[in-house]
Amino acid sequence: MKILLLGEFSALHKNLKEGLVSLGHDVSIASSGDGWKQIPCDIELGSSRKNILGKIEKVYKLIRVVPKLKDYDIVQCISPVLFPRFLGINKFIFSYILRNNKKIFLVASGSTPNITAIADFCEKDFKYKELYREIKKLYSPMWGQSSAGREYNKWFLENINGVIPIMYEYAQGFRDINYSKLCNTIPIAINTDNIQYKSNIVNKKVVFFHGLNAEGIKGTPLIREALEKLKLNYPNEVEIIIDGKMPLNTYLKLLERINVMVDQAYYVSYGLNSLYNLALGKIVVGGAHKECLDEYNLKTSPIFSIEPSVENIYLTLVSILHNKDKIEEYGLQSREFTVNNHNYIDIAKKYIDTWQNK
């Protein structure tokens, strides 16, 4: 099949493409590289320039690129809003895509401010209300919950072939509105063939790491305080690294020297950041609550789940530290879990089945 993956979210489409290509499909990614992450793509949509020059370059690229976004068997969008909204440009381009391709899908994967169903669920029914508060603080106003956003979402969902969620947080809102085109949740794909596993050996100190990115949404203030408390109480046993907003390759290089990655505090599921670390054999602290495991039909995971409180996070980290002789064993379990449940070729097959049967 000829497939267009439109938009990027933490290399979700990059890993999926690698699986699809391995299965013999013709796949292109059109994206802006997901900002500072600089994730490679085939068709460039963004601009590295700032201010008015960047806007002009983006418009110039769209004029050249949009006529190429046709004649695909499958177009999968990372968000219902990928182009400028002013003057109705985004809807105009998606109307063109809908008319000129066979099937269109939305992969529900983080575009909470622009997707009404997900935003409403986070606000009203998700158990950690802090998540919605922090998303709204970062992206205010929440366009998907405006009258214009609701009207556009209704039109978009009526015209596409289906929505494929990647986790519980992005599936439940569509179940709440009884969306008839909701597909089964498909776990995130990751190409572990390109990620070298190494035994998670502890040297003089256990190295704990937290990456900086959307700090409020990830609960960074809580995590930072817990890590500082750990450092204060165990100064000779731990090293703390808090850093972020770097290109993907630089980030993966940094991860080589850590033992434990503390991801986020407000989600019940886990994303690609956790998966990269699991694939490397690191200990991951973050999601994988019951809702997440049920969504994926899993009984257990190697992830250390935390609640959004400093004390809970701190006690979890202390528990890992007190069992540092098991970190290498835990790391191997992390790798095996990723290979068994998120293999990029197996996940690509699930997408193919979903696209063909919807």
Tens digit of each residue's pLDDT (9 = 90 or more) over 180-206: 999 999 999 999 999 999 999 999 999
**pLDDT tens profile 265-284:** 999 999 999 999 999 999 99
Long-range CB contact pairs, 82-87, < 8 A, 24+ = 82/6, 82/7, 82/45, 84/58, 84/59, 85/143
Over residues 214-226, mean pLDDT? 95
Kindly state whether residues 219 and 118 are assigned to the same domain: no
Query: What's the total number of domains in the chain?
Result: 2
Kindly state whether residues 213 and 176 are assigned to the same domain: no
Kindly state whether residues 145 and 239 are assigned to the same domain: no
pLDDT over 90, % of the chain: 81
The residues that bridge with 286 in the sheet, in sequence order, are: 305
User: Which domain covers residue 113, as residue numbers?
Assistant: 2-189+344-357
Instruction: Share the mean pLDDT of the chain.
Output: 93
Q: What is residue 59's predicted lDDT score, i.e. its pLDDT?
A: 74
Kindly state whether residues 223 and 334 are assigned to the same domain: yes
Q: What is residue 112's predicted lDDT score, i.e. its pLDDT?
A: 95
Put the strands of the sheet holding 43-44 in their side by side order.
Answer: 43-44, 26-31, 2-6, 74-77, 103-108, 162-165
CATH number at residue 263: 3.40.50.2000
Q: What is residue 260's predicted lDDT score, i.e. its pLDDT?
A: 98
Kindly state whether residues 183 and 220 are assigned to the same domain: no
Two structure tokens written together for 286: 């973050």
**pLDDT tens profile 293-352:** 999 999 999 999 999 999 999 999 999 999 999 999 999 999 999 999 999 999 999 999
Two structure tokens written together for 313: 């996070």
The residues that bridge with 316 in the sheet, in sequence order, are: none
C-alpha angle 353/354/358, rounded to 5°? 120
Q: What is residue 42's predicted lDDT score, i.e. its pLDDT?
A: 87
Measured CA to CA, the distance from residue 72 to residue 70 in angstroms comes to: 6
Kindly state whether residues 164 and 302 are assigned to the same domain: no
Kindly state whether residues 89 and 46 are assigned to the same domain: yes
Kindly state whether residues 9 and 105 are assigned to the same domain: yes
Taking alpha carbons only, the member of 42, 3, 43 closest to residue 355 is 3
Two structure tokens written together for 140: 């205010």
Kindly state whether residues 127 and 263 are assigned to the same domain: no
Q: Would you place residue 213 in the very low, low, confident or very high pLDDT band (cuts 50, 70, 90)?
A: confident
Kindly state whether residues 275 and 148 are assigned to the same domain: no
Measured CA to CA, the distance from residue 2 to residue 115 in angstroms comes to: 27
- If you count them, how many residues does the chain have? 358
Kindly state whether residues 162 and 26 are assigned to the same domain: yes
Our CA dihedral for 275, 223, 115, 125, rounded to 10 degrees, sits at 110
**pLDDT tens profile 8-52:** 988 899 999 999 999 999 999 998 765 656 677 888 886 556 666
Kindly state whether residues 26 and 88 are assigned to the same domain: yes
Q: How far is CA 127 from CA 90, 138, 223, 250, in A?
A: 33, 20, 19, 34
Q: The pTM is what? A: 0.93
Q: Would you place residue 129 in the very low, low, confident or very high pLDDT band (cuts 50, 70, 90)?
A: very high
Sign, CA torsion 11/174/94/22: positive
